[in-house]
Amino acid sequence: MKKKIKAISAKALVLTFGIGTLFSCVSDKDSPGLEWMPDMYRSPAIETYVDYGYVKERTDVEKTMKQSAKHPPMNTIPYYGKVEDLEMMLPYHRQVASSAPVTHGLQAKHGWKISEELNGDYEVAAEDKNPIVLTEENQKAIFDQGKKLFKINCVHCHGEKGDGKGPMVESGAYLGVPDFANLKELADGQKFYSIYYGKGMMGAHAPLLKNKEIWTIVHHINKLQSKDYGVGNVTEEEVSDSTSVEIAEQQ
Ligand code: HEC
């Protein structure tokens, strides 16, 4: 009996060792060899913009159709920043046009404030003043920052000069982008409103930009519309091309 157990355990030992050796040997010296249950060491990363419908040669069509990146819950506000910026972090109080659920996908069930009016609060938004007040000291940094944000988020449609001739328009992919030179009468509050909620073919930027960033861009648009915009005598040259001002610095 004892002999039998010994023989079995010896066989088991050889087998285990043999299998172990087999699985650990692969020709690529950078490869860890064959892995048992690789998910144990390499958990599938849950990240934004990843298509979870496709996992290791398996395609789950239903999941492929689902959005992996979601908007943050409505009215989420950052918990950092300066006290004087607090008001800008609070949820925007203006209501969006009644058509927005259809035209811009902004649903009341997600917390968007939908008006019963066709134009929403667009007209009254003209009363809203830019809470970022320009001074001689801060304006250069604000213009630089606005230019930078505009470059990242808007130039592909609106063009660097704001003439409505961005690469997407030039390529023929997009139509109806206005020249800011023709919108000089547009109040700051309405610019904010349209950027925040979107307008016509332009999508809503509220999920992409903080209110403070939108107001900063509004200053930049004003600068594009009028070279003299700003405190004192600001010439175009004084507003540098530098994009070195970090976003963090403004927050
Ligand atoms: C996909 C293209 C596209 C992008 C990106 C885009 N816009 Fe627009 N924008 C448009 C179009 C089209 C209109 C005209 C909307 C209308 O009047 O029907 C418009 C209109 C505007 C207006 C005028 C709104 C009004 O009330 O008349 C402003 C201001 C504006 N955009 C600013 C911005 C800013 C700032 C950004 C970046 C944060 C931006 N846009 C990004 C296409 C775009």
Distance between Cα 202 and ligand 1 center (Å): 5
Query: Ligand 1, from 94, 145, 171, 202: best to mutate by most atoms within 8 Å of Cβ?
Result: 202
pLDDT for 70 equals: 66
pLDDT for 246 equals: 42
What angle (nearest 5°) sits at the alpha carbon of residue 244, between those of residues 241 and 248?
A: 135
Distance between Cα 75 and ligand 1 center (Å): 23
Query: Ligand 1, from 99, 121, 150, 157: best to mutate by most atoms within 8 Å of Cβ?
Result: 157
SS (H, E, C) the chain: CHHHHHHHHHHHHHHHHHHHHHHHCCCCCCCCCCCCCHHHCCCCCCCCCCCCCEECCEECHHHHCCCCCCCCCCCCCCCCCCHHHHHHHCCCCCCECCCHHHHCCCCHHHCCCECCCCCCCCCHHHHCCCCCCCCCCCHHHHHHHHHHHHHHHCHHHHCCCCCCCCHHHHCCCCCCCCCHHHHCCCCHHHHHHHHHHCECCECCCCCCCCHHHHHHHHHHHHHHHCCCCCCCCCCHHHCCCCCCCCHHHHC
Distance between Cα 91 and ligand 1 center (Å): 21
Distance between Cα 236 and ligand 1 center (Å): 23
Distance between Cα 199 and ligand 1 center (Å): 7
pLDDT for 235 equals: 54
Averages of pLDDT over runs of 10 residues in the chain (251 residues) are 70 68 66 75 64 70 68 72 80 95 92 95 97 95 97 97 96 93 96 97 92 96 95 59 42 40
Q: Is 220 in the pocket of ligand 1 (CB under 6 A)?
A: no
Distance between Cα 205 and ligand 1 center (Å): 10
Q: Is 181 in the pocket of ligand 1 (CB under 6 A)?
A: no
Q: Where are the domains of the chain?
A: 2-64, 83-250
Q: Is 207 in the pocket of ligand 1 (CB under 6 A)?
A: no
Question: So what's the architecture of 83-250 in CATH?
Answer: Orthogonal Bundle (1.10)
**pTM for the model:** 0.72
Q: Is 125 in the pocket of ligand 1 (CB under 6 A)?
A: no
Distance between Cα 198 and ligand 1 center (Å): 7
